[in-house]
Structure 1
Amino acid sequence: MKTMIKLVASLMMLHAVPMDAAAATNNFVKVDKTHFAKGGQRYYIAGANFWYGAYLGAASNVGNRARLLKELDTMKAAGINNVRVLAVSEKTDMPSAVRPATTAAPGRYDENLLAGLDFLVAELAKRDMTVVIYLNNFWQWSGGMTQYLNWFEGTKALDPNITKDYDDYMAKTARFYRNDKAQQEYRNVIRTIVERVNTVTGKRYADDPTVMSWQLANEPRPGNGKATAEEKAVYVKWIADTAAYIHSLDKNHLVSSGSEGLAGSAQDADLFVKAHQTKHIDYLTYHLWPKNWGWIDSKNVAATWEGAMEKSSHYLNVHIDYAKKLGKPIVLEEFGMDRDGASFDIKAGTTVRDRFYGEVFNVITTRAAKGDPIAGFNFWAWGGAGRAANPDYWWKEGNDLMGDPPQEEQGLYSVFDTDASTIALIRETAARLKGLERK
């Protein structure tokens, strides 16, 4: 009898391991055809961009953990279930970049800021929120790719806020994809983050279901609008090779590119599709910026609104169609509009922004309700309790961090915790998407 009891106990133990493993695997966000799934059911993203989250999570210096907890609680109450966060920044002489930086020089990391990312991820887990972590930046506000070139080419890091020549910046920054030393260091950074053990939870990032996706970079692009066929080919290969490298380190998590869509693909639809065909890119991303692209005049909304919304609606819908063609989900992970009268003042109204958000959310929820592969949104960006400190609204080291990075005026696109009408729209849309998960 004792032998039989031991045998039964042993068999139960054998079955317990795979069941536990299956339960753990079930908690990761996965792709189920053209949708996300988590915990055995469909999962929609109702998210915010929160690039500075790891900064607030630091224990000292730039950190403000009390504010971070408040921000996460406020977002959670608004129905937000996902945040998109910068993993690392690179130290640079460029004036419009955030300070301090995570990486002082190749291989030299600020452990205080990395521990801030640890703290953020641990707190997100407590709130059943997930995170998209991007591992580089095409733009200068965090150092990014141009700083890698400064390190390994010896060329000056370009700050287009100073030169006022974004075309030149984009063309030159795309050399990053071809620089072998820069690529090796970039992979060192990827490995450092993906294989890092969280100092708060004790979990490897690669084993933590709080992470929804690794993202190659914020808004990578092949160059400017005149990118050559060769430059486009280099870009496509870089996406496939880098995504494959991340998957070689981490079999649990999704990988995305961080692309703007057509606007980040030299307006080349074939390039956008080709860049995301690789099996190592699990879902598509795109961004929508009517003001940045000259579609709307914030100081003359009445005369430019209709045309801007026609273009925006087409942009929103055509990318969902591209996703359907590729058989993958897509997330609108950036969109924004400034305050009434093009003001940066937190006291200015948000009538135009709310109207724009309403248009965007209507497309998302309508297409999602039809079963199309739109998997959610991340608005740009959560400003929360941050407040602009200077009369000219430009950020200086030591000021509050908020949704607008240092390359932009503070208050340009941030959604503050006092923007009640905008937050109500976000909460309502999050609830509508949540309702679709149960269908």
Structure 2
Amino acid sequence: MFKSSTQKMGAGNRLLYPILGFASCLVFIYFSFGDFWVSYPREPVLSFVQRNGTHFMVDGRIFYINGWNSYWLMDHAADEYTRPRVRAMLHAGAKMGLTVCRTWAFNDGAYNALQLAPGQYDERVFRGLDHVIVEARKHGIRLLLSLVNNLQAYGGKTQYVKWAWEEGVGLSSSNDSFFYDPSIRHYFKTHVKTLLTRRNTITGVRYKDDPTIFAWELINEPRCMTDPSGDTLQDWIEEMSSFVKSIDKKHLLTVGLEGFYGPKSPKRVTVNPGEWAAELGSDFIRNSQISTVDFASVHIYPDQWFPKYDLEEKLKYVLKWMHSHIEDGDNELKKPVTFTEFGLSNLSKGFDPSQRDRLYKIVQDAIHKSAKKKRAGAGSFVWQFLVGGMDEYNDDFGIVPWERPSTYRLITDHSCRLAQIRGVLPFQREYLKELCF
């Protein structure tokens, strides 16, 4: 049956309204979030970061880092439905003028494990790491890749010890046997070699030849408490750093230290956050002086170290802690010093987000001051950044930086200040032009 023209128009409108509504929704989503989904307009050309004394160098210029931690990138890149978060985070980092992201290149025996058993890998997860490296390069972001965890999260040294114990070759069930058991050392070397010689399935470039990788980190927050003298951990660092360099002479290497001074250091009394800090088997100076270690790493967690201090006391200590380690970089190590984790817990009594802003500002100001004087303070990495909808991956330090304008402004202003000192890097021009001018 034919309809009148009025009926046709009514039917047409009924069809048109849902289409217009859907289109309007798409437009809203694009203008609200689409910025994070667009590809970088042109893939940047990256050079390897090198070291000259106490400075990082890129293309003949000093390179200062305004960086962050997103440990979860490989884990999310392994699954199609979470993979868009990787691009969103890296694009957001580039928009903030950030230059280096620290993330895990390990997941041992846990959910979405990269290493299923010693020397056995899940290719799906490895392709996820391939994807992370490619996305980082597209956005002009370099990666600091950590090789194993001292903690149990994502397997860590506990999983290596368990593997050796289950295979009947382990010398001890102690977690610290990770550092001295020959079988476990062999497991770890196999992982290192597999990772460094991996050929990216997307680009065809081996990891050891890819300048997207800023540096390798041997282990996150190493401690060997069964040997407080530090000899066991020192021996492990010497052997493993030499092994990394025997395979990869292009990339820089750091240990992954928290920055505590050991039992023979005079600063164990004057700078350490407590007597306990000298009994962990690590020593900032001794561990970082090794010739195969290119730069030093330090972490900053004042609310964990001083739970009873008020905010002013904590922040005063942070300045002392940073100045001490920058001084060490200049006078003792003759190497760059990076503060590869810093944060303030939201579980602290009376916490307010403005307190976190104050910590960020103090850390950034110390790096800016060091950079202006061409001292050893080479950069800092916030712990940690996420995108929306990741509550299950958050801890009491994580933030979505663009959700709080004052925090976002602090981060971007620091990018601009560092750019004024070192000059604007080619891949930053588009974003810094908008941020800084």
Residue of structure 1 equivalent to 2:228: 228
Provide the rounded CA distance (Å) in 2 between the counterparts of 1:26 and 1:127.
Answer: 11
In structure 2, what is the Cα distance between the partners aligned to 1:202 and 1:238?
32
Note the C-alpha offset of 1:70: 1.3
Mapping of residues 192-231 of structure 1, within 5 Å: 192-223=194-225, 227-229=227-229
Match of residue 251 from structure 1 = 249
Partner AA of 1:433 in structure 2 = L
Which residue does 2:299 correspond to in 1?
287
* Contact 2:258 2:299 (8 Å CA) reproduced: yes
Structure 1 counterpart of 2:346: 339
d(CA) in 1 for partners of 2:423 and 2:101?
Answer: 22
Contact 1:285 1:332 in 2 (8 A): yes
Residue 25 of structure 1: how far off its partner (Å):
12
1:185 counterpart residue number: 187
Tell which structure's C-alpha radius of gyration is larger.
2
Say which is worse superposed, 115-124 or 264-273, in terms of deviation: 264-273
Residue 414 (structure 1) aligns with: 398
CA distance in 2, matches of 1:32, 1:280: 14
Who is 2:61 aligned against? Answer: 41
The correspondence for 2:288, drawn from 276, 283, 291, is 276
Give 2:108's aligned residue. 90
Q: Tell me the alpha carbon deviations over residues 240-270 of structure 1, each in whole angstroms, 9 at most, x when there is no partner.
A: 1101100100111001101011179864499
Is 1:75 matched with 2:93? yes
Q: Measure, in 2, the Cα distance between the counterparts of 1:86 and 1:436.
A: 30
After TM superposition, the structure 1 = structure 2 runs for residues 21-420 of structure 1, keeping only pairs within 5 Å, are 27-60=47-80, 64-92=82-110, 99-154=111-166, 172-223=174-225, 227-229=227-229, 232-262=230-260, 267-268=277-278, 271-295=283-307, 304-324=310-330, 325-339=332-346, 350-388=353-391, 395=392, 401=393, 404=394, 410=395, 412-416=396-400, 417-420=402-405
Q: What's the counterpart of residue 420 of structure 2?
A: 435
The TM-score with structure 2 as length reference comes to 0.77
* Distance in 2 separating the partners of 1:419 and 1:138: 32
| Separation in 2, partners of 1:341, 1:26 | 41
Partner Cα distance (2:305, 2:74) in 1: 30
CA distance in 2, matches of 1:432, 1:182: 45
Identical amino acids, percent of aligned pairs: 28
8 Å contact from structure 1 (residues 296, 305) kept in 2: no
Contact 2:259/2:297, CA 8 A, preserved across alignment: yes
Preserved contact between residue 329 and residue 373 of structure 1 (Cα < 8 Å)? yes
Contact 2:261 2:283 in 1 (8 A): no
Q: CA separation in 1, counterparts of 2:262 and 2:345?
A: 21
Which consecutive segments of 4 or more residues in structure 1 shift more than 4 A?
Answer: 263-266, 340-343
**How many residue pairs align between the two structures?**
361
Q: Do the aligned residues in 1 keep the contact of 2:78 with 2:112 (CA within 8 Å)? A: no
Shift of 1:26: 8.3
Matched-pair contact (CA < 8 Å) for 1:35–1:42: yes
Matched residue type, 1:174 = D
Return closer, same or farther for 1:204/1:339 CA change in 2, 3 Å cut-off. Answer: same
Asked whether the 8 Å contact 2:106–2:114 carries over to 1, the reply is yes
The alpha-carbon distance between structure 1 residues 415 and 319, as it changes in their structure 2 partners (threshold 3 A), is same
Query: Secondary structure at 1:48's aligned position in 2?
Result: strand
Q: 1:262 to 1:124 in 2, by over 3 A?
A: same
2: CA distance, partners of 1:183 / 1:67 = 34
Q: In structure 1, what residue type is equivalent to 2:345?
A: D
Runs of at least 5 residues in structure 1 that lack an aligned partner in the other structure = 1-23, 93-98, 156-170, 298-303, 389-394, 396-400, 405-409
Contact 1:220 1:264 in 2 (8 A): no
Partners of 2:64 and 2:413 in 1: how far apart? 14
Q: What SS class does the counterpart of residue 403 from structure 2 fall into?
A: coil
Provide the rounded CA distance (Å) in 1 between the counterparts of 2:285 and 2:262.
12
